[in-house]
Amino acid sequence: MNDDKSFQPATTITQAYNAVNPEQSLEPGDPRYVDFAAQRGDEHPVSVIVKRILRSEANQPVRHLKQLLAGHRGCGKTTELLLLKERLEKENFFVVYFDAASEIDMNDVDYSDLLLATMHQLHLQVEQSPLQLFLDIKRLDDIALRLGRVILEKEEREDIEATLKTEYRVGAEIPLFVKMMAAFKGFITSGSTQKKHIRVELQQRTSLFLQDLNDLIDKLQQQLRDKGKRGLVIIIDSLDRIIPHSLGDERKSNSHTALYLDHVEHLKAPRCHLVYTVPISIFFHENVSKAYPDGPLTIPMIKTREENGEVCDDGVRVLHEAIASRIDIGKIFVEVRDVETFCLASGGHLRDLLRLVRYACDYSDEQITSDAAARAVRSLVQEYDRLVKDADLPKLVRVHREKRLPSDSEFALLPYHLIVLEYQNHERWADLHPAVQETRKFREAWKNAQRQNPQNKTGKKLRQTRRAAKR
């Protein structure tokens, strides 16, 4: 994250390379922030979530919102979530925001890891708050002792603390719960075998753990009300990065459905408003809306083309603006039109747009030439060429032909891997990432499909005519 509100657009290639860092999220008020809501096609999801939370607060007793937010990786979710945090704080909420990827292992996520990480971050951010809030230290110590007895196989507090100090190098001048959480984070992120013991302990005593968590939250909610605050909201970012893998059971579960559907009641149990980021693939499961009736939200791509293939000038314009907010285009690019080339080649995916500029910097000394721009686009196409599996080519042909993403589970991972991008234009539609369309394997598959069924071209023209008539 970056909170540099005095940022000046880059004027040299070296500055430009750093200015378009695709991993850098923007804080609210950053001069590089561009509001893409209109070009994404729907009301800004931040505004929707704020409205929902405020309306939930008006109910007595309060019905705590459990909101799922999805979007293609790299579409700008973190920047929008930081904006959500600021908006909620202005509405007088106490907001705990944290990046799950820094707390737990995205290759192996269990609901117990997430709940314990939530409790850890809740404690840390309450302690750091200028509001002089506190959590029940005795309750936290009891949790730490239970974990210590299972993980460290020590019965007495003194022995647990000594082990944490000598074996895990956790400082002595901090509360026991904080020491245990430091050790826990090491177990979880390093893939330690101790992780299994922690999970078994929490899973066997889930009800007790959730009771502990909710008692802490209830007392905090009362403190917040006493200080004139509306209440607590927890925002958990980066869960969309959970690596998908099959669990090999009869239900064909995977790491995504196991967390969000098999343990939905656990994730919904905390007595506060919660916003979870989720992998976009989870929305292909028929039970999501039933499990989370608050209406899961998505952040669509920024339209660079309309559904009929025509260039969307507004989308290209705001993406151009996003680049201009970071670099002095006239000084960095020899040909300004190459910026539009990048906008179209990105498919409206902001991170890929920034990556294209960065790649072009790799091929440039003083300014980005059209040759360097073309090489950058080829580099992106080569990356996506490696992602496209031969077995998926018939599915990609179908998506490109129909301009929609079927709800079948076999299509679910295509948007997760950014091979297919979703857009919103009064209704949801989809198409292949432009880089995928330029891969040789897809072009050959598309050509073969057209030869085998020449009616496809006529059908496509007919659909375009119908859509134009509706408009």
- Write the pLDDT tens digit of every residue in 352-363: 999 999 999 999
pLDDT tens per residue across span 291-337: 998 888 988 899 999 999 999 999 999 999 999 999 999 999 999 99
pLDDT tens per residue across span 360-385: 999 999 999 999 999 999 999 999 99
Angle, alpha carbons 89-92-94 (nearest 5°): 60
Label the pairing between strands 231-237 and 66-71.
unpaired
pTM above 0.75, yes or no: yes
Q: How far apart are CA 407 and CA 414, in angstroms?
A: 11
Domain boundaries, the chain: 43-299, 313-386, 389-470
pLDDT number for residue 124: 93
Higher-confidence position of 359 and 288: 359
Res 189 pLDDT > 70: no
pLDDT tens per residue across span 2-38: 556 678 999 999 999 999 999 999 999 999 999 998 8
Integer CA distances (angstroms), 310 to 184, 314, 316, 430, in order? 52, 12, 12, 14
Q: Which of 177, 90, 193 is nearest to 141 (CA)?
A: 177
Confidence of residue 190 (pLDDT cuts 50, 70, 90): low
pLDDT number for residue 176: 84
Tell me what the mean pLDDT of segment 399-422 comes to. Answer: 92
pLDDT tens per residue across span 59-92: 888 899 999 999 888 888 999 999 999 999 999 9
Q: Which of 368, 372, 291 is nearest to 334 (CA)?
A: 368
Please, are residues 16 and 327 in contact by the beta-carbon 8 Å criterion?
yes
Q: What proportion of the chain, given as a percentage, has pLDDT over 70?
A: 91
Helices 393-402 and 440-452: angle between axes, nearest 10 degrees: 70
Mean pLDDT taken over the chain: 88
pLDDT tens per residue across span 38-67: 888 767 899 999 999 999 999 888 899 999
Res 198 pLDDT > 80: no
Tell me what the mean pLDDT of segment 228-239 comes to. Answer: 96
Label the pairing between strands 427-432 and 93-99.
unpaired
Tokens (6 digits) for 440: 């040789």
Residue the block writes with tokens 């990356």: 383
**Contacts for 234 with CB less than 8 Å, ≥ 6 apart:** 95, 96, 97, 118, 122, 270, 272, 273, 274, 275
Q: Which of 374, 308, 314, 313 is nearest to 345 (CA)?
A: 374
Q: How far apart are CA 239 and CA 289, in angstroms?
A: 18
Please, are residues 110 and 247 in contact by the beta-carbon 8 Å criterion?
no
Res 431 pLDDT > 90: yes
pLDDT number for residue 469: 37
CA-based Rg of the chain, rounded to a whole angstrom? Answer: 25
Confidence of residue 461 (pLDDT cuts 50, 70, 90): very low
The beta strands (E) that lie in 213-306 are given as: 231-237, 273-278, 297-299
pLDDT tens per residue across span 146-188: 888 877 777 788 888 887 777 666 666 678 888 888 877 777 6
pLDDT number for residue 312: 94
Torsion of CA 354, 356, 360, 363, to 10 degrees: 120
Confidence of residue 459 (pLDDT cuts 50, 70, 90): very low
DSSP code for 409: G
Residue the block writes with tokens 């909620």: 88
Integer CA distances (angstroms), 447 to 69, 200, 405, 454, in order? 37, 53, 20, 10
Topology given in CATH for the domain delimited by 313-386? Helicase, Ruva Protein; domain 3 (1.10.8)
* Residues paired with 236 in a beta bridge: 98, 276
Please, are residues 101 and 46 in contact by the beta-carbon 8 Å criterion?
no
